[in-house]
Amino acid sequence: MDFSSTCHRMVSASSNDVKPIDGKKPTEDFIYFALYLIIQEIYNVQKEHSNKFGDIVLCLDSSKNGYWRSDVYKNYKNSRKKGREESELNWKEIYSHINNLIQMITEYLPWKVIAYPRAEADDIILVLARTKNVFEKIMIHSPDKDMIQAQRFTDNVFQYSALTKKWLKPENKHDNMEHWLAEHVCLGDVADEVPRVVDFTEFSENFIHFLKENHVDTYYHEVHNFKLWEDKETKINLLTTFDKHKVNKKGEILEKDIYKDIRFGPSSLADIHDGTWELKQRKAVLEKKKAELKEQGLKITEINKEIKSLLIKDETPEKRFNDWLDSHPLYRDHYERNFTLVMEEGIPTDIWNGIILEYNNAKNDFCQKEYFDFLRENNLEKLKLTTTFATKVKGPLTAADFDW
């Protein structure tokens, strides 16, 4: 269970009707209801799914020393902190209450709570799903479509989204896991600020014009060459002084117009896999040659025949995809970066092994008195009425003793 996802959903629900004071919503006005909703959600999931999937494991992010993915891509989740600072909610106070809840659950309730330094809940979910599915059925309780990859190579892993109230599967034109994975890696993840493979690969016309005005060698008008330019001071100065910005439909000023916005989505990848993209490229080359012949007053009969006779090559989708990755100097590097960021194969070995050890060593004892003390101290005593095990037992139990 992705604990962070549950927390943010319940904090949002509990604070909806709270009015801001001086730009911030008072935490005390909604936090106890949020805590109630969080615990209740965990109980409900346990009660509904434990017969088939066993006991819950709560998976947490551990960002104290940053995430390991930030070492791979420095802009990973870069704006999250800024978003929290600008929020109407005081996240520092909210996290303080949630951390107390986490400590209580870890110490006194019969659910394993797993966090590992520099890892995210996603990492923990993927590691445990991969290593445990050979022994039992696994349910991933998360709306994050990144987790769909855990269903590869097994029929024992399932995923449920509490947001959509649906079981998640690969969603693309062919319902094909391999094609879905290609989309997942190539199209990036806006929420985590993982760019698409094609992003930041072509300069805009405005920026190229600016480079020409500043007498920059045409060799550096290509992004990959510009990146290799050793004169870092001049590069930084150019990027700083360039002052043209993109504007959205509302007229709002966006980021600098340095990079071209390239249209690229699921249909683009479908074209690559079925050979349409490669056919278009070959046709474009011939059309350019045809235009040159016309300009020179030469016959174009033969080249017209060649254009009409073009056919999709008899190649596998994998070969076509790899040819596309090699069609630009940056595509394959960007693909490998994204693959590391979003796929379980990218999780560092030390973190993978650490998560397994953390799981093996995690407590799952139930301590009734301490649990009731927490409910009383946080104005949550009514919750006792809804906790099946708490109203039945008189002493400490382990998760194996529960009968829902």
Domain count, the chain: 2
Q: Cα–Cα distance between 57 and 36 in angstroms, integer?
A: 19
Q: Cα–Cα distance between 36 and 43 in angstroms, integer?
A: 11
pLDDT tens, 232-291?
999 999 999 999 999 988 888 999 999 999 999 999 999 999 999 999 999 999 999 999
Judgement on whether residues 163 and 228 belong to the same structural domain of the protein: no
Q: Cα–Cα distance between 253 and 246 in angstroms, integer?
A: 6
**8 A C-beta contact, residue 91 and residue 84:** yes
Q: Cα–Cα distance between 138 and 142 in angstroms, integer?
A: 12
Judgement on whether residues 161 and 213 belong to the same structural domain of the protein: no
In a domain, 326, yes or no: no
**8 A C-beta contact, residue 325 and residue 335:** yes
Give 26's contacts (C-beta < 8 A, 6+ positions apart): 18
pLDDT tens, 9-63?
999 999 988 999 988 999 999 999 999 999 989 988 998 999 999 989 999 999 8
Pairing of strands 57-59, 245-247: unpaired
How far lies 7's CA from each of 47, 233, 248, in Å? 19, 45, 33
Judgement on whether residues 28 and 97 belong to the same structural domain of the protein: yes
Q: How many CA atoms lie within 13 A of 169 on its CB side?
A: 8
Judgement on whether residues 148 and 245 belong to the same structural domain of the protein: no
Would you place residue 401 in the very low, low, confident or very high pLDDT band (cuts 50, 70, 90)? very low
In a domain, 115, yes or no: yes
Judgement on whether residues 22 and 133 belong to the same structural domain of the protein: yes
Judgement on whether residues 30 and 115 belong to the same structural domain of the protein: yes
Q: Which domain holds residue 57?
A: 3-172+346-401
Q: Cα–Cα distance between 137 and 157 in angstroms, integer?
A: 6
**CATH for 43:** 3.40.50.1010
In a domain, 77, yes or no: yes
Q: Which residue has the tokens 């951390």?
A: 99
Judgement on whether residues 76 and 163 belong to the same structural domain of the protein: yes
Give 226's contacts (C-beta < 8 A, 6+ positions apart): 203, 220, 235
